[in-house]
Structure 1
Amino acid sequence: MKLYFDVLHTGEKYDFTNKINEVLQEYASVIATKLLYSFIPESGEQIKFINFGGEASILEPFIKQALLEHMSEAAAQSNHFFLNKVLEDDRKEIFKPSPRIINLAALEMLSINEMRKTNEGE
């Protein structure tokens, strides 16, 4: 996908695709590094990761590339998943799970827990 900026009234276009991709790759590298060092497996334990969140699908190719800085492609493929690839399409669901829906549900749960703490403290 190409990302352009049009200058108003001049017709000039500037292609920012490479710059934006660089920033996204750097961001994904930071995310991958923090993620991998946040969960230290115990002896022999294998940890599987499912990436989700509002922008996970946009960041997917960048995160996959960033993971290769830390591990082999085989290890990345067998231990790192993306929600949109894991979920099956079920047309009966009213609210189809998506990164944004999961974020909203998680925020709602956090709000409820915070309200309970506040109410219990009164």
Structure 2
Amino acid sequence: MEQTFYEQVFEVVKLIPKGRVTSYGAIAKSLGAGGSSRMVGHAMRYAGSVHPPLPAHRVVNSVGLLTGKFHFNPPTLMAALLENEGIIIKNDKVQNFTTHFWNPLTEI
């Protein structure tokens, strides 16, 4: 049976290494749906119901902003999880974003 788009997104998210982040757009591009970053974002809203749990905290916007933080309880949890992996967060933004960026197109 063919995977749904959301299932494909979740499979990519599972691969993001600890201490790295990727963007909604990079996930979309890796799935051959470059214009679908918003759909990836929508899929991530349901990441909390996936078992085993996904490292959803590692998915940020294209400049490193923690735009999905409101889907964590409390919203500060996303930053705390990233900081526990050695990523510095200031004003809800990943510092040294390009250093921590994981590109699923080139690293899968």
Same fold (TM over 0.5): no
More RCO (CA 8 Å, sep 6+): 2
TM-score by length of 1: 0.30
TM-score by length of 2: 0.33
Which of the pair has more CA radius of gyration? 1
